[in-house]
Structure 1
Amino acid sequence: MNTVTSYGAAGTVTGSCHLVKLGPIKILIDCGMFQGEGSNDGQRNYEPFEFDPAEIDFLIITHAHLDHIGRVPKLIKDGFNGKIIATQPTKDIAQIMLLDSAKILKEEYKTLRRKALRHGDEERVYEPLYTEDHVKEVFLKNWHTLEYFEKHKLPKRIKVTLGNAGHIMGSAFVMIDYIDDKIPKRVVFSGDIGSKHRLIIDPLDNTEEADTLFVESTYGDRKHRLLKESINEFKQTVIDTLERNGNVLIPSFALERTQEILWLLHEMHDNNELPKCQVFLDSPLAIKATRLYNKYPIHLSDEVEYHTLDNGDPFSFESLNTISTREESRMINKIKERAIIIAGSGMCHGGRIMHHLKHRLWNSNNTVIFVGFQVEGTLGRSIIDGDEYVKIYGEDIVVKAQIQTINGFSAHGDQNDLIEWIDNFSELKNLYLIHGETDKMEAFSIVIKEKLNKDANIMEYGVSVTL
């Protein structure tokens, strides 16, 4: 029997992990971290897998966000010894993301252990989920990198093909072709798919053939603003804040969103739209990711690719300062006005953005611009939900800064994008929703029925469905 079982991103946005069984062959699609959605999500990452990692033959990685790759070192630590399949940019980005994750896990462990020692309950502190040595083992494994729409043969007449998902550089949706009772069939996993209107990378590809589709639904309940409108709003917000001598704080994801923001600020600088200011990219991880974006211009949009070939780095400009050390980061606090600070993490659940918020969130002259999805349970979500006070490093901070949410930059497609992409599948027999909050998936399933006359089933955690 051929089945799919979701052990993450089922009823939640994070923890993507889907086990495909095709006869004796076991394929895992992603192995991501649970992040932020509930008080026990961090603990869930430490729990044993519901399957034997040693029995997995192939791991296919759709892209290098931690909610899709964050438990891969644990998977290998627990016995996985199969082949890993991804695009080359995804492999390169995964390496810097996982090394950064291991570093954060180590620091969190040290902090929690110190607190536990003071309270006499050291035994309740988990060892780090994995270390840098475990991450290094990931990249000593057997990897096979694919170009988009290059077919890769697996045993038992199974073929794997990756298409451009238009989410971040190197992101892919997965097409698996197999034979079921002598009949050729195809199952597709969307990964995270982006809009057809993107700033710095090529838009997602379409494909027409699938018997069964597992599709993300992060924004299945809503429509984004037009990208052009979002760009104009972003520019005007930056200009208005700087002209009142305020500071702009941008909690930004190291991948894609940071590069998009840098490209926009670059354009503003070149077009004399950017008021006099200092711009700080305060994220070692984002700096490394930006170097990788420069490494693969062929994966960028035509406009950015041509700029790279003709004029060099599209993500750098005169007033940009890249900040690597903590000491340099602290020095930014001495700047009282006209600064743009781009720092991680994107959902404000850690990272250098935390101390920038602590020092500037209480000032009404400043603006915090959220340019990405904020998962329930994160500090970012609390701020955009309008909490009057938020707790940062144990201190209650009043929220007086202007709060601006600009969702048109989302790397996730909105309801219209998802509907249009699903509609390309001409003879789809089974449709399952994954990677979304339950209420949003329920709303999206209604829209799918109304617009496409298809029944969409919501995947449940640990419940197998037959292909």
Structure 2
Amino acid sequence: MRVHFHGAAGEVTGSLHEVEAAGRRVLLDCGMIQGSPEAERRNAEAFPFEPTALDALVVSHAHIDHIGRVPLLVKRGFRAPIYAQHATADLMPIMLMDAASISEGDAERHNRYRRAGEPEAQPLFTREDVAAAMALVRPLSYDARTEVLPGIDIAFREAGHILGSSSVEVWADGRKLVFSGDLGPKGTPILRDPADIDRADLVLMESTYGDRLHRDRADTIRELGDILDTAWREGGNVLIPAFAVGRSQELLYWFARHWDEWNLSRWHIFLDSPMASKVVSVYERHADLFDEDARRVWRGKPDPFRLPNLHFTQSREESMAINRIERGAIVIAGSGMANAGRILHHFRHRLDRRQTHVVFVGYQAEGTLGRRLVDGAKWVRIHGNDVRVNAQRHTVGGLSAHTDQRGLMAWYGTISGSGDASHPPLALVHGEDRAREALAGEIGETFGVHATLGRPGLVLDV
């Protein structure tokens, strides 16, 4: 078995790893590169392999940085099966249709205003490409070892990151590869904890927060309640950039759980994302994947997805109308890194106001507007306009969907190696170098394992 590192190898987005085994080629994830405009232009480049030569694609979960180039792969000739956990398979068309719509819209706007002689822009992929990709998807259940190709078995294990998120075990050529996917912290609301893996000959592990520890979740929830209380007293609105899958649903969970304590009935709460509204339906269909705490909350009152003052905004006009509310609005809108989507319109109208509170609840990649705001930018450009940033900014790290350094080390520490090895060889992916280097140092000191830092073009034999 041999692993080729192509994407999310020195950066957080663009997950793309190729496995050669049993005379076949299997791709693990096919994610979109996100961040600066320069970084995102790399999505249109040729793949570092021939799509028609692949025999299968296995996706770990439905975030765009893990599935966002799947329709492009199909557009360029891929016709093999795509394996995903059942909930992931249900989320994929929602996420990918939204990405296609954005890409088509961007191309249309560019062509409307392009200068004479400038080449016509093409969308990265279309909704027709998404439909073609979804026809190839083969859903699998958690913990079911399945032969996907002659001599190659896989199994999905709970990763605790978002609904349907999986770590992937791959057996071939008498060896076993484990790909962590994205790992969530233990005790994440709604989701079950990441599953322990018993053995591996090589582990590919994410390292997004490999250099830091999250705040205690209880402290984080108290902080969120304090932010809402302060915003109410100051007469402002609260803007929360959040991914449609994961953080949006968790926020509604906490709102339901602390409904009385935070006096949330006084607010107007908006889930300003047609995509997130569809995702809520998928969560409800897969309630069997919820942990016991979530089941108790859903049995109580109010239902997190049916709060009495929760508004699901669908149309552009409904979204625009939110900006007429001067105070008392909590707006959860995409995208999570504030590099696209409806949150930009709310930022454009509200960032210049001191009484506006912006709450970041997830990772902000290099080059994104969210990262610039977290880093303290005084001015930002939104839709061609320079906007003064007077809003109060809060980074609530304890709500991250990614586990921290301690959690990564604990997950890896449960995996035994082959033969006499206490722990398997390890390659770190899906992290910036600062985070990966810090995690590699801690793992070397704790487990005596020299972790490899995945790089594009690197090949490892298992």
Question: Following TM superposition, by how much is the alpha carbon of 1:270 offset from its aligned partner in structure 2, in angstroms?
Answer: 4.5
Aligned to 1:48: 46
Please list the CA deviations of residues 167-225 of structure 1 after superposition, one character each: whole Å capped at 9, or x if unmatched: 0000000001122xxxx321000111111120111111111210100000000010000
Q: 5 Å matches for 1:326-337?
A: 326-337=316-327
Asked if structure 2 preserves the Cα contact closer than 8 Å seen for 1:32 and 1:69, the reply is: yes
Which residue pairs with 1:4 in the alignment?
3
User: Counterpart in 2 of 1:111?
Assistant: 109
Q: Is the 8 A contact 1:200 1:304 kept in 2?
A: yes
1:23 corresponds to 2:14: no
CA distance in 1, matches of 2:192, 2:368: 30
Give the match for residue 244 of structure 2: 254
Rounded to whole Å, the distance in 2 between the matches of 1:252 and 1:358 is: 17
Q: CA deviation at 1:384?
A: 0.7
| Partner deviation per Cα, 1:304-332 (whole Å, 9 max, x = no partner) | 22443566843221111111000011111
The 2-side partners of 1:353 and 1:390 are apart by: 14
Counterpart for residue 442 of structure 2: 447
Aligned-partner residue type, residue 436 of structure 1: G
Aligned equivalents of 1:312, 1:338: Cα separation in 2? 20
Distance in 1, Cα, partners of 2:101 & 2:89: 19
Matched, 1:197 2:187: yes
Please give the TM-score of this superposition, normalised by the length of structure 1.
0.95
Q: Aligned equivalents of 1:48 and 1:217: distance in 2?
A: 26
Identity across the alignment (%):
39
2:118 is matched by which residue type in structure 1?
E
Counterpart contact for 1:242–1:275, Cα < 8 Å? no
In 2, the alpha carbon distance for the partners of 1:107 and 1:384 equals 28
**CA displacement 1:154-179 (0-9 Å, x = unmatched):** 34432111100100000000001122
Moved more, 221-230 or 444-453: 444-453
> Is this contact kept in 1: 2:220–2:399, CA < 8 A?
yes
SS at match of 2:160: coil
Instruction: Determine the C-alpha separation between the residues in 2 that align with 1:456 and 1:71.
Output: 28
Alignment CA distance shift 1:372-1:126 (3 Å): same
| Aligned residue among 196, 200, 207 for 1:206 | 196
Whole-Å Cα distance in 1 between the matches of residues 397 and 156 of structure 2? 27
- Contact persistence 1:194–1:412 (CA under 8 A): yes
SS at match of 1:197: coil
Which runs of structure 2 are paired with 1:336-375 in the superposition (5 Å)? Answer: 336-375=326-365
1:166 partnered with 2:160: yes
Q: Render the CA deviation track for 1:79-138: whole Å, top value 9, x for unaligned.
A: 11111111110001001000010000011111222232xx32431x53101110110111
One-letter identity of the residue aligned with 1:41: A
**What does 1:66-465 align with in structure 2 at a 5 Å threshold?**
66-116=64-114, 119-123=115-119, 125-141=120-136, 143-179=137-173, 184-271=174-261, 273-274=263-264, 276-308=266-298, 313-427=303-417, 428-465=423-460
Contact 1:239 1:275 survives alignment (8 Å): no
Q: Give the Å deviation of 1:39.
A: 4.1
* Structure 1 residue 463, shift from structure 2 partner: 1.9
RMSD of Structure 2 on Structure 1 (CA): 1.4
Deviations 1:266-316 (A, max 9, x none): 223255632612111111011111111111111112122244356684322
Q: Secondary structure at the match of 2:244?
A: coil
User: Matches of 2:22 and 2:43 in 1, distance apart?
Assistant: 28
How many residue pairs match? The answer is 457
Match of 1:33 in 2: 32
For the Cα contact (< 8 Å) 1:297–1:308, is it kept in 2?
no
Tell me which stretches of 4 or more aligned residues in structure 1 moved more than 4 Å: 309-313
Deviations 1:19-64, CA, capped at 9 Å, x for gaps = 000031111000010111x442222111111111111111001000
Contact map agreement 1:269 1:317 (CA 8 A) in 2: no
* 1:429 CA drift (Å): 3.3
Within 2, Cα distance between the matches of 1:392 and 1:309? 42
Distance 1:155 1:255 in 2: 30
- Relative distance call for 1:393 and 1:39 in structure 2 (3 A) is closer
> Residues of 1 paired with 2:295 and 2:288: CA distance?
6
Amino acid at match of 2:130: V
Q: Does the CA-based 8 Å contact 1:243-1:275 persist in structure 2?
A: no
CA distance in 2, matches of 1:307, 1:236: 22
Query: What whole-Å deviation, never above 9, does each CA across 1:309-360 have from its counterpart, x for those lacking one?
Result: 5668432211111110000111111110111111111111111111101111
The gaps in structure 2 that reach 5 residues or longer are 418-422
Contact preservation (8 Å) 1:433, 1:458:
yes
* Paired amino acid for 2:158: N
- Report SS of the residue matched to 2:428: strand
SS for the counterpart of 2:311 is: strand
Letter in 2 for 1:464: V
Separation in structure 2 between the aligned mates of residue 445 and residue 461 of structure 1, nearest angstrom: 18
Cα distance in 2 for partners of 1:102, 1:313 equals 32
Contact 2:22 2:151 in 1 (8 A): no
Q: Following the alignment from structure 1 to structure 2, what is the Cα–Cα distance between the partners of residues 40 and 458?
A: 23
Question: Aligned to 1:315, what secondary structure does the other structure show?
Answer: helix
What is aligned with 2:420?
none
Q: Say which SS state the counterpart of residue 404 (structure 1) adopts.
A: strand
Query: Given the alignment, which residue of 60, 63, 87 partners 2:61?
Result: 63
Greater shift after overlay, 397-406 or 302-311? 302-311
TM-score by length of 2: 0.96
Letter in 2 for 1:418: L
Pairwise CA distance, 1:394: 1.3
- Give CA-to-partner distance per residue, 1:381-422, whole Å, 9 cap, x none: 111100111111111111111100001111111000000001
2:182–2:206 Cα contact (<8 Å) kept: yes
SS of 1:5's partner is strand
